[in-house]
């Protein structure tokens, strides 16, 4: 007779219980369920690029996969040729010189580094300054480190830039890390050189490490190139920048990102990754290096495509009476909800009655209330259709 084995009780660690709800996973599941029921859903609520990776990059991966060298474990911190490639791109695009050996870390996508840096720098009780609204995965790393977040409200009246003068001295005394993100997710705002100069001075004065999330750095509109934090004199003395190929080259699924800048921080990120990973598949690293050093026409064309989509959408929004400010970069639009609605009630109504998915602003922080985020991640005809469907609800004007 087979003996019955009692099922053990699995107790999650406290750090797991402290993690915030994965906002985008919930949004994705909700949309997928609706599609499975046969509805024609226009999903503009996520940040997943809708275009394929340029074919020459794919072809380089295919050829590189035949190299038996890449069938072995790669170097723990990645191949030097990929670090040289991103250093070359930064020098050409931003005039920033990076030492591939000490100022570049290869990441499993930018998101990984944004979570890891909190674990590298924060102890329980330390403070991390976080933009509000902001990318929710900043919160995840802080929670895993057992640290405390202090939110920096981003108000439209201030161009969605943080007001460092509004922060409390007692919070600044405990702050060890701060996140900034321009072009901004979710607001689409951009930052200029003066803001970054202020940020470097502020960080140096208070001994705070800056983590600049530059995921949308290649996507700028109206003839303006987004500014890199690392272009600022003194930036490498106070922080790092996170860069990814996901948006610039439509390589979201390839999971290639970088941390760039302060050598001490880069060393710590490489150290923690030595315990987690053994770097990326070598063929992906070769294809990524080709993307960074090869022709950049596809990057410029991609930014132009998002600008056309933005302009098409805003013409359609104007027709239905939905007034909002155009984003200066990224592929997101930050739109005020109509009177009488919260961000969630409006997003739910649009989803249930128009089959359009928008991300409620409160999912990005308390200061996101009153807005929804819309991604320019469908073609122009679908964006016009989404606006028309929402317009038929009669909520504007």
Query: Helices 80-94 and 282-293 sit at what angle, rounded to 10 degrees?
Result: 20
Determine, yes or no, domain membership for 1: no
Determine, yes or no, domain membership for 60: no
E strand or H helix that includes residue 211: strand 209-213
- Residue 158's pLDDT is 97
- Residue 327's pLDDT is 98
Same domain, yes or no: 278 and 328: no
- Residue 1's pLDDT is 61
CA torsion sign for 35, 335, 363, 249 is: positive
Q: Please give the model's pTM, rounded to 2 decimal places.
A: 0.95
Collect all residues with Cβ–Cβ distance below 8 Å to 101 and sequence separation of at least 6: 80, 83
Here the CATH number for the domain that contains residue 158 is 3.40.640.10
Kindly state the tokens that stand for 45. 């609520």
- Residue 21's pLDDT is 75
Same domain, yes or no: 32 and 133: no
Same domain, yes or no: 82 and 191: yes
Distance CA 69, CA 64 (A): 9
Q: How many structural domains compose the chain?
A: 2
24-39 pLDDT, tens digit per residue, is 777 788 888 988 999 9
Determine, yes or no, domain membership for 9: no
Here the CATH number for the domain that contains residue 377 is 3.90.1150.10
Same domain, yes or no: 28 and 126: no
Same domain, yes or no: 211 and 275: yes
Last residue of a domain, one of 293, 323, 338: 293
Collect all residues with Cβ–Cβ distance below 8 Å to 313 and sequence separation of at least 6: 333, 374, 376, 380, 383, 384, 387
Cα 280–Cα 212–Cα 299 angle in degrees, nearest 5: 65
Same domain, yes or no: 384 and 249: no
Same domain, yes or no: 262 and 332: no
Distance CA 139, CA 149 (A): 8
Distance CA 66, CA 51 (A): 26
Task: Determine contact, residues 119/126, Cβ cutoff 8 Å.
Answer: no
Last residue of a domain, one of 293, 324, 358: 293
Determine, yes or no, domain membership for 64: no
Distance CA 364, CA 179 (A): 14
Determine, yes or no, domain membership for 274: yes
Determine, yes or no, domain membership for 230: yes
Last residue of a domain, one of 261, 293, 325: 293
Same domain, yes or no: 96 and 240: yes
Domain of residue 387 covers: 14-52+298-391
Determine, yes or no, domain membership for 62: no
DSSP secondary structure string for all residues of 327-392: PSBSSEEEEEPPTT--HHHHHHHHHHHH-EE-EEGGGG-GGGTTEEEEE--S-HHHHHHHHHHHHT
Same domain, yes or no: 248 and 181: yes
Distance CA 373, CA 366 (A): 14
DSSP 8-state code for residue 150: E
Same domain, yes or no: 244 and 177: yes
Q: Please identify every stretch of the chain with a pLDDT value under 50, giving residue numbers as ranges.
A: none
Same domain, yes or no: 264 and 346: no
- Residue 16's pLDDT is 87
HSE of 6 in the Cβ direction (CA atoms, 13 Å)? 3
Query: Among 395, 363, 331, 367, which residue's Cα sits nearest to residue 28?
Result: 363
Same domain, yes or no: 106 and 193: yes
Determine, yes or no, domain membership for 79: yes
């Amino acid at each position: 007779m087979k003996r019955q084995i009692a099922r053990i009780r699995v107790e999650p660690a406290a750090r797991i219980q402290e993690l915030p709800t994965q906002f985008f996973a919930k949004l994705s599941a909700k949309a997928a369920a609706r599609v499975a029921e046969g509805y024609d859903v226009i999903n503009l609520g996520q940040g997943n690029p809708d275009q394929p990776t340029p074919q020459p990059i794919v072809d380089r991966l295919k050829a590189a996969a035949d190299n038996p060298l890449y069938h072995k474990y790669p170097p723990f911190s990645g191949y030097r040729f990929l670090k040289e490639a991103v250093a070359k791109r930064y020098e050409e695009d931003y005039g920033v010189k990076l030492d591939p050996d000490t100022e570049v870390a290869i990441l499993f996508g930018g998101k990984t580094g944004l979570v890891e840096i909190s674990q590298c720098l924060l102890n329980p009780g330390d403070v991390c300054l976080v933009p509000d609204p902001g990318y929710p995965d900043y919160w995840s790393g802080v929670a895993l480190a057992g640290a405390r977040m202090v939110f920096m409200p981003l108000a439209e009246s201030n161009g969605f830039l943080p007001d460092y003068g509004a922060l409390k001295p007692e919070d600044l005394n405990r702050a060890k890390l701060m996140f900034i993100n321009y072009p901004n997710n979710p607001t689409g705002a951009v930052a200029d050189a003066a803001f970054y100069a202020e940020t470097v001075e502020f960080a140096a004065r208070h001994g705070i490490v800056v983590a600049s999330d530059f995921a949308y750095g290649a996507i700028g509109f109206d003839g303006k190139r987004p500014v890199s934090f690392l272009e600022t004199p003194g930036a490498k003395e106070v922080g790092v920048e996170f860069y990814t190929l996901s948006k610039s080259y439509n390589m979201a699924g390839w999971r290639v990102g970088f941390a760039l800048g302060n050598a001490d921080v880069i060393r710590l990120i490489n150290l923690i990754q030595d315990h987690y990973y053994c770097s990326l598949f070598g063929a992906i690293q070769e294809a990524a290096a080709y993307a960074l050093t090869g022709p950049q026409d596809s990057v410029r064309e991609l930014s132009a495509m998002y600008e056309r989509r933005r302009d098409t959408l805003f013409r359609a929004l104007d027709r239905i009476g939905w007034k909002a400010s155009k984003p200066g970069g990224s592929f997101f639009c930050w739109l005020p909800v109509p009177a009488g609605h919260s961000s969630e009630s409006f997003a739910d109504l649009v989803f249930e009655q128009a089959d359009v998915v928008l991300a409620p602003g409160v999912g990005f922080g308390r200061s996101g209330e009153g807005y929804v985020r819309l991604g320019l991640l469908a073609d122009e005809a679908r964006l016009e259709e989404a606006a028309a469907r929402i317009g038929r609800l009669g909520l504007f004007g």
